[in-house]
Structure formats: structure tokens, C-alpha cells
């Protein structure tokens, strides 16, 4: 049989020494263990947030970003493309109908449409500037020239010259 080795007899063993305490120090006491409530709260909140978002996206579905250029128009009619004037037009659906009488009236060389309930019109006109791009003033002048015959009320409204008449307009 095997027996453990015997310790050598020493004249001084750890148990034979008297305990020495310094009078100016308190005996060592381990710090009480504190729970890290801040960490527990932060981790718990994070887990709760992830669980809530997972449940939301599982029910509602993950949102999909729109592709560049927007979504294609949901129409059975393909868009009209003009190489001559360099534009693309998607015809509106619903109650919109072509209106040739309005097209002649507004001098639109491409298209005029209207609908009822509520009443609305649209006109499409184009001009080829050949090799140049018109400046802002030229494009505005062209639009005003085409739309001026349609106005029934002059714009901008002319104001009376006297200050008393202006005061009557503002208070009325």
C-alpha cells in the first residue's frame, strides 16, 4: 500500500507562529459582491429590443427600399416615348380621356387630356431646340405665351394707385 510522504519536522511551522497584527490596521475584509445593475439593465433592454424588432419584422415583413429611379407605373398601357422631342409619358388611368378640342385651344402640339369629377385638364407640348438647351427665362416665356390665352383673370392683379384704395383691399 501506498502512504503519503511525511513532512519533514521543522523547528518552525506555520501553525506554531503567533499571529501578529499591526495596531494601526484593521484586519482584511473582502468587499461585498455587488450586482452590476447598470449592466444587467442595459443587456436586458437590448435583448428586449431585439426580440420586439424580430417579432415586428416577422409579422409585418422587412421594408424593402425602392429601386433607383422609382417604381414602375402600374399600368397596362406602356409609356409613350418620343425620340423626336426626347420625352417619355405614362398615360394616366381612370377617367382621363383625350380632348382634341382642348389641344387646339391651348396650342399643344402633342396631347391634351381631361377628366371630370373633379374637373381637370392636362396638355403636353414640346419644342425642339436642336443643338442647345433653352435658358430658364426662355422656357418660362414659352410657357406663358401658350397659357396666356387661357387666363380669364389678369395676373398679377393690378393694384389701385392710391394708398386708401390699397387699404380697402387689405381690410376687405
DSSP codes joined into one string, 129-156 = -TTSPPPHHHHHHHHHHHHGGG-SS-SS
Q: Give residue limits of the domains in the chain.
A: 80-150
Give, rounded to a whole angstrom, the gap between the first and last alpha carbons of the chain. Answer: 122
How many Å apart are CA 113 and CA 121, to the nearest integer? Answer: 6
- The pLDDT assigned to 89 comes to 85
* Structure-derived torsion over alpha carbons of residues 147, 148, 153, 159, reported in degrees to the nearest 10: 120
- The pLDDT assigned to 49 comes to 95
CA distances from 125 to 48, 71, 115 (A): 58, 25, 19
The whole-number mean pLDDT for each consecutive block of 10 residues of the chain, a chain of 172 residues, reads 57 66 68 80 94 88 66 65 84 83 82 86 84 88 78 57 50 46
User: Does this model's pTM top 0.75?
Assistant: no
- Does the bond joining 12 to the residue before it have cis omega, within 30 degrees of 0? no
- Does the bond joining 55 to the residue before it have cis omega, within 30 degrees of 0? no
Amino acid at each position: 500500500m501506498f502512504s503519503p510522504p511525511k513532512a519533514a519536522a521543522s523547528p518552525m511551522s506555520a501553525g506554531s507562529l503567533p499571529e501578529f497584527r499591526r495596531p494601526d490596521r484593521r484586519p482584511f475584509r473582502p468587499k461585498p459582491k455587488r450586482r452590476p445593475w447598470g449592466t444587467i439593465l442595459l443587456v436586458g433592454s437590448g435583448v428586449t429590443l431585439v426580440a420586439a424588432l424580430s417579432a415586428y419584422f416577422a409579422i409585418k415583413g422587412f421594408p424593402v427600399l425602392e429601386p433607383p429611379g422609382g417604381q414602375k407605373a402600374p399600368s397596362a398601357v406602356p409609356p409613350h416615348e418620343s425620340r423626336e422631342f426626347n420625352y417619355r409619358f405614362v398615360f394616366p388611368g381612370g377617367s382621363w380621356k383625350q380632348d382634341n378640342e382642348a389641344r387646339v385651344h391651348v396650342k399643344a402640339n402633342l396631347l391634351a387630356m381631361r377628366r371630370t369629377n373633379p374637373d381637370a385638364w392636362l396638355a403636353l407640348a414640346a419644342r425642339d431646340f436642336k443643338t442647345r438647351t433653352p435658358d430658364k427665362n426662355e422656357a418660362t416665356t414659352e410657357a406663358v405665351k401658350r397659357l396666356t390665352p387661357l387666363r380669364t383673370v389678369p395676373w398679377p392683379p393690378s393694384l389701385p394707385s392710391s394708398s386708401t384704395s390699397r387699404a380697402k383691399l387689405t381690410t376687405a
